[in-house]
Amino acid sequence: MFDNVLQSFDVVSLLIVAIFFLLVGYRPPWWIKKTAKYTSTNVSNIPGPLSLPILGTRWIFTFGGYSCGKIHEFYSDMYKKYGSVMKEEALFNVPVISVFEKQDIEKVLRSSGKYPIRPPTEAIAQIRRQRPERYASTGIVNEQGQTWHYLRTTLTSDLTSPKTISEFIPQIEAIADDWCNLLTQLKDTKGQIDDMHQVIGRLGLEVTCALVLGRRMGFLIPGQESDSAQILAKAVHDHFLAVRDTYFGLPFWKLFPTSAYKQLEQSEETIYKIAMELIETADDSTKESAIFQSVLRANVDSREKTAAIVDFIAAGIHTLKNSLLFLLYLVATNINSQKKILDDHSKNYLKACINESFRLLPTANCLARVTEEELTLSGHKVDAGSVLLCHTGIACRNENNFTNPNNFIPERWLDEQKSITSSNATFLVTPFGVGRRICPGKRLIEQVLPIIVDATVKKFHIKEVTALELQFEFLLSAKGPMAMIFEERR
């Protein structure tokens, strides 16, 4: 334990940082009692955990009893301890404010202007800035302002177009068939598959690559998972873990390459190389892919095109895997829901299960923004330019917003309950985010999930084996490996 602490909290480095900042004249607010621009009296009154000079509160995830894998539990505990608004401090004691109540979350998300600012993952931005031969900007996920707007409008219009998505449906149906065949091949005599992460990961890869590159990669062919599929799946997983550790851990990566930073560089490199390989080996079907073509045609620097493909692949694979795993788990643990899905030809019950799964277990359980205007949040004035975390996942489990909030009740999305649930859900059940920075993959995923789950439930009676344990991997994920049983229906 002590070894771990020493490893991650290098005393010599800390002293160097402290001496450096004292020499260059930096004085923390608690020292000189001079209020910096970002700390209005009201922000300084927001309660939160102990903040260290310069380093802020990030020590908590290193030796404060919360590992990075349990960050979701940290925020839940902070809500119980401090109430509706809570303040952490990042490097140089810059406040990061968490809001948990519906009215505050709504106020923050509604207040975004033409170019909503989502705080960038700084470590990725740094890596990309150091590779100008490869990246012309930090990419659509991390850019802000006009650059972001230009990338967003030029690179994602086909990805979000209903026409593109409807043309993609036959491919999704074929993928769903292959997925069911793969389950049949992989299950043992009891119908059990031991590692659902791995199997659903293959599906995430196949769907995302089919969408972005327009061709079937064969990730679902039994016994033929290629090396690059495994390498890509691992790289995307490592990428999210390294983003989490550089984002929430002590920020020493800004001074020297920490192991998390090196892991991020390595995974970024791997994803980039595989994406390049896929692009370079584009066959005829790829050349016909609307999304691939729209990226290639876009009036942007060619480096932006590769970066967009990298970002689409990285953004799609893990989110889809986690969302589908949660959905199958909830349907497996609620056996009646499978019968109702089968009986309801309107598919409304299936859609209600998907909404309920996103309410209970959203893989993106928090939306981050930088406010563009001054806001009053639960009585605290927060300056424009403040970093805000909207904890939609926690608000979705608040009984003021949903009755029996911890239970899986798809019926709340149907019939007479529908309108009250939907109005409470606006700004809370936001699995793909909101506003102009909303996920451009939303429409596609909204088509993919019902097709896959419908095909799976029609073919199998699904049962859970392993109880779900949540793990924070920058996204909310299931701690693996998760076993499930798939009994063929007669």
Task: Kindly list the distances between the CA atom of residue 224 and the CA atoms of 108, 109, 182, 184, 482, in Å, as whole numbers in the listed order.
Answer: 47, 45, 11, 15, 22
Span interacting with ligand HEM, options 43-51, 231-239, 272-280, 315-323, rule CB under 6 A:
315-323
Task: Sketch the per residue contact string, 180 through 209, with ligand HEM: x for CB under 6 A, - otherwise.
Answer: ----------------------------x-
Ramachandran region, residue 25 (left: φ > 0; alpha: ψ -120 to 50; beta: rest): left
Q: Which of 57, 154, 270, 323 binds ligand HEM (CB under 6 A)?
A: 323
Per the structure block, which two tokens stand in for 357? 């799964």
Bridge partners, 488 (sequence order):
460
Binding track, positions 100-139, relative to ligand HEM; x by CB under 6 A: ------------------x---------------------
Query: Site mask, ligand HEM, residues 395-434, x = CB under 6 A?
Result: ------------------------------------xxxx
Rounded Cα distance between 397 and 428, Å, is: 10
Hey, which residues between 366 and 395 contact ligand HEM (CB under 6 A)? 367
Q: Are strands 95-99 and 387-390 parallel, antiparallel or unpaired?
A: parallel
Residue 152 as a binder of ligand HEM (CB under 6 A): the answer is yes
Please indicate if the annotation marks 439 as binding a ligand: yes
User: Least distance (Å) from ligand HEM to the CB of residue 197?
Assistant: 15
Residue 351 interacts with ligand HEM (CB under 6 A): yes or no = no
Binding window for ligand HEM (CB under 6 A); candidates: 172-180, 190-198, 341-349, 360-368: 360-368
SS3 401: coil
Closest to ligand HEM by CB, 375 or 390: 390
**CA 116 to centroid of chain Cα atoms:** 18
- Residue 290 touches ligand HEM, criterion: CB under 6 A: no
CB burial readout 26-65, b (16+ within 10 A) else e:
eebbeeeeeeeebbbebbeebebbebebbbbbbbbbbeee
Cβ closest to ligand HEM, residue 248 vs residue 252: 248
- CA–CA distance, 458 with 475 (Å, rounded to integer): 29
- Angle at 391 (CA atoms; ends 390, 392), nearest 5 degrees: 100
Residue with tokens 């149907």: 414
Binding site for ligand HEM (CB under 6 A): 118, 140-141, 152, 159, 208, 211-212, 311-312, 315-316, 319-320, 323, 363-364, 367, 431-434, 437-441, 444-445
Which residues are known binding-site members for heme?
439
